[in-house]
Structure 1
Amino acid sequence: MTEEYTQLIESYGNLALDMVLEILAALAILVIGRFVAKKVSGYTQKLLEKSGRVDRTLRPMIVNIVHYTIMIFVLVAVLARFGVETTSIIAVLGAAGLAIGLALQGTLQNISAGFMLLFLRPMKVGEFVDADGISGTVEEIGLFVTHMTTVDGLYISVPNSRLWSAKVTNFSRNSKRRTDLVVGIGYGDDIGKAEKVALAVVNADPRVHKDPAPQVIVTGLGESSVDLTVRYWTDTGNYWPAQSDNRRAIKEAFDKEGISIPFPQRDVHLIPEAKS
């Protein structure tokens, strides 16, 4: 009886030892696998940056795919240490994928939207865009969200599905932009003179394109002013500084030439009450 009891203890002891060794081996594989995934994804990031052939927008997505692919193989290796067969692993992954897919439909929409954003490229890293009120410079298009920086330096994280379903206005994609400066002059001022003065101002700006040529057109007869639109084209990067400088220069030129820029005003006529 004692001998049988001793053999039973030895058997359970060996089984427990084997189990502990398998757990330690699985933990070692997991730790080493995570280390390798981190190193390989980091090396991939550096390689993509050094090559210069891969668009900046695609780099984070490629790095993430490399990282998660390695981790999938690591998890399969960990399960294999516990005697789980490959076919069983595939079946478990398939069932888990289906369950996760049903539970995380919104997340999967973000992933698919991210791939569509990368494939069709309505926006790229470094471009300034507006998507139905969400505006900023694109910093990174990830698997789930897009990272952006607003004009006032704030960080925003936007789900990819929201950007994909929105109307995107890309302010950086085209190389040049048209500017329309609306300037009002008084009804008593010489329209032809005002047009010549405004044209002289914008033509003197080297940032303004000569083709198509700048033009000044009458676009409105307001309550207090004749509205002139000064229209010209510049490089996209010069749009805001050129607009500010030319608006200021036109105001100063009009003041020098005696052309008024009226403010809204209203004439009130008092009709005396008829004597009875």
Structure 2
Amino acid sequence: MDFNFDLDTIAVFKERAVDLLFQLGPVLLKSIILLLVGRYVIRFILKVFVKTLEKYEIDPSLATFLKSFLNAILWVLLIISVATTLGLEMTSFIAIIGAAGLAVGLALQGSLSNFAGGVLILIFKPFRIGDTVEAQGTLGSVESIDILYTKIRNFDNKVVTLPNGPLANNSITNYSQKPTRRVEINVGVAYGTDLKKTRNVILNVLKQDERIHADPEPIVKFTNFGDSSLDLTIRVWADAADLWPVYWDNMEAVKEALEQHEIEIPFPQRDVNHYYPEGKKE
């Protein structure tokens, strides 16, 4: 009797298994096909996305991050689609994910702002590694650009780390973006000096420096009546890399030329008149 019961039980299980197979088989097959096709589609989308980033010369570090981010989003969508095909209820699950995402977003608000700023900097490239920039009160050479922070090494070899959020939302002065820079030197000569002679002396000095561009040509202009001097402004153009050497060398060369031609470079002077209300005492 037990033997017959076991055979009957097995027959019932087989019948139910066959029914279940016919019910779930098409769904499972559909889910597997969806998974395989979705995997192929994800690879195709990522391939096109990477080619697009390369076409627009997006920074490699940003391109890698964006590719990984897009890959994660596509796989989450694919898994949700497969689970929905299998008949799983995803509404509550998606709501939980949304709530968790909101909480994490609020907790990481500052970091997300820096991340967005980093993306903007890497896409629009207001500066590159090696450029000399002035931003957020810091002047120096850009040492690295990461997703969240940018490091700038100033001229006394200190590294300043700036968050990308405020950096992307404020003014940035890039001293390296253009190949040429204007050098400006201010010189004061004594009152009574022949300005035409002084101008010629200075222009002769500038012509001897091959680093100074002929176009635009150097200029020397009288710009101000100072307290103790007639002020002249010298403006020349040079390659950006030669900016400070041209400035320093010509400051010294101009001084020596003025001294050779006996053109006085005055120091501040004051005339003091003493008033004696009761008459000067001898």
Q: Distance in 1 between matches of 2:272 and 2:188?
A: 22
Q: Distance in 2 between matches of 1:93 and 1:65?
A: 21
Aligned to 1:157: 161
Aligned to 2:249: 245
Q: Distance in 2 between matches of 1:204 and 1:267?
A: 40
Check 1:187–1:86 CA distance in 2 against 1; reply closer, same or farther (3 A cut): farther
Aligned to 2:60: 59
Partner residue of 1:128 out of 116, 126, 132: 132
Using structure 1 for the length normalisation, give the TM-score. 0.69
Partner residue of 1:274 out of 263, 266, 279: 279
Q: Distance in 2 between matches of 1:68 and 1:140?
A: 22
Tell me, what secondary structure is at the counterpart of 2:186? strand
Instruction: Provide the identity percentage.
Output: 39
Matches within 5 A, 1:1-276: 58-65=59-66, 92-271=96-275, 273-274=278-279
Runs of 5+ unmatched residues, structure 1: 1-51, 76-84
Check 1:64–1:132 CA distance in 2 against 1; reply closer, same or farther (3 A cut): same
Q: Distance in 2 between matches of 1:138 and 1:252?
A: 37
Tell me, what secondary structure is at the counterpart of 2:178? coil
Q: Distance in 2 between matches of 1:241 and 1:86?
A: 72
CA offsets 1:172-208 (integer angstroms, 9 cap, x no match): 0011111110000000321111111111111211111
Check 1:53–1:136 CA distance in 2 against 1; reply closer, same or farther (3 A cut): farther
Runs of 5+ unmatched residues, structure 2: 1-53, 77-87
Alpha-carbon RMSD across the aligned residues, in angstroms, is 3.2
Q: Which amino acid aligns with 1:172?
A: S
Q: Distance in 1 between matches of 2:249 and 2:280?
A: 58
Q: Which amino acid aligns with 2:141?
A: T
Shift of 1:89: 7.1
CA offsets 1:46-82 (integer angstroms, 9 cap, x no match): xxxxxx9986x8122234445667889999xxxxxxx
Q: Distance in 1 between matches of 2:120 and 2:188?
A: 46
After the TM superposition, which of the residue ranges 104-113 and 265-274 deviates more from structure 2? 265-274
